[in-house]
Amino acid sequence: MASHDPWKNPPLKEALFEIRFQPVSDYAIFVGGIAASLHEKFPYTEKLEAAEIPHFIQFEGVARHRFFSQDRAFAFQTGFDVVSVHVIAYSGFAAFSKTIRDVLDCAQKFVAFEGISRLGVRYINVFDEPKDLFGSLNITPPFSSMEIDKTEEVLLKLVKREQEDITVNTTVSLSSNNNKSLFLDIDAFYNPSNIKWDIDLILSWISKAHDVVYENFDSLVSLPEKGERK
C-alpha cells in the first residue's frame, strides 16, 4: 500500500533506506561515478570521518561520503559496501521512493553487485519535551516510580519478526542529554543470504516494509498524541 493520510504535525525527524552488498573493488570509481551522475540533484558533498581511514581498512556498513540536495531535504551516503538514502524534510512515501530509485539506478551503473546482504527502512520520530513520560506512546512503564522530572534516561527495545523477510527493531529512548525528548525509532530490515540487485524487487520490499513500519508506529502513538498531530 505505502500510502497514508499525512499528519498535520508529524513527529518524524528522518526517514532512511539502507542497502548493503559485497564490497566494491574500487571505491574511488564507485563514489566518483555516483557523485558526477547525481551532481545536479545532490550538489553538496561532505566527507565523513570514515573517509580518512585508509582504503585497505574496511568496516562493515560504514559510510564515507554524504551528498545533499540543494535544499538539504534529501541526502544519500556511500561506503565500500553500503548506500543509504535519507529524507530530512519528509513529504510522503512517493517522493522517498523516487529518490531511492534515482540513487539505486545510478549506483548500479558503476559496480557489478554480486549480492545484497541487508535491506532496511527506518523512521526516526521525536516527541519534544513530553509532559508525561509515556503519555505520547501506548507503552506501560516498566517501573512504577518513573517520574519524568527525575528520570535521567530510558531505553526500551523490542526486536520482532513480522514477516518472513521483515524483522522490526523498535527502540524507545529518552535522555537528559537531549532535553528530555522522547525518541521512537522503528527499523524494518531483512538480511537475505544472497539476492540479486533487482531495483523493482528492492522497491517492492521497501513498500512492504514501509507499511509494516507505519502499522507499528500507528499502534504505538497514543490517541491524545494523535489528536494533537493529525
Q: Tens digit of pLDDT for each residue in 153-174?
A: 889 999 999 999 999 999 999 8
**51 part of a folded domain:** yes
**4 part of a folded domain:** no
Which residues span the domain enclosing 203? Answer: 12-229
CA distance 81 to 59: 9
**181 part of a folded domain:** yes
**2 part of a folded domain:** no
**208 part of a folded domain:** yes
How much is the pLDDT for 130?
A: 73
State the amino acid at position 10 in one-letter form. P
Give 77-127 pLDDT, tens digit per residue: 999 999 999 999 998 999 999 999 999 999 988 766 668 899 999 999 999
Locus of grid cell 519478526 = 161
pLDDT > 70 in the chain, percent: 92
Cα Rg of the chain (Å, integer): 19
Cβ neighbours for 85, distance < 8 A, ≥ 6 positions apart: 16, 17, 74, 75, 76, 96, 99, 100, 103
pLDDT > 90 in the chain, percent: 60
Signed CA dihedral, 159, 160, 166, 169: sign only: negative
Cβ neighbours for 108, distance < 8 A, ≥ 6 positions apart: 197, 199
**33 part of a folded domain:** yes
CA distance 86 to 67: 10
Give pTM, 2 decimals.
0.90
How much is the pLDDT for 1?
A: 52
How much is the pLDDT for 109?
A: 85
CA distance 102 to 201: 15
| pLDDT for residue 147 is more than 80 | no
How much is the pLDDT for 106?
A: 92
Locus of grid cell 530510558 = 154
Ordered alpha helix ranges (H), the chain? 27-37, 93-107, 199-220, 223-229
Domains in the chain, number: 1
Q: What are φ and ψ of residue 144, in 5° steps?
A: -75, -20
Given pLDDT bands bounded at 50, 70 and 90, which one contains residue 2? low
**187 part of a folded domain:** yes
CA distance 157 to 159: 7
Distances (CA, A) of 192 to 112, 118, 197: 18, 6, 12
Give 19-75 pLDDT, tens digit per residue: 998 888 889 999 999 999 999 999 999 988 876 776 767 778 899 999 999 999 999
How much is the pLDDT for 51?
A: 67
**3 part of a folded domain:** no
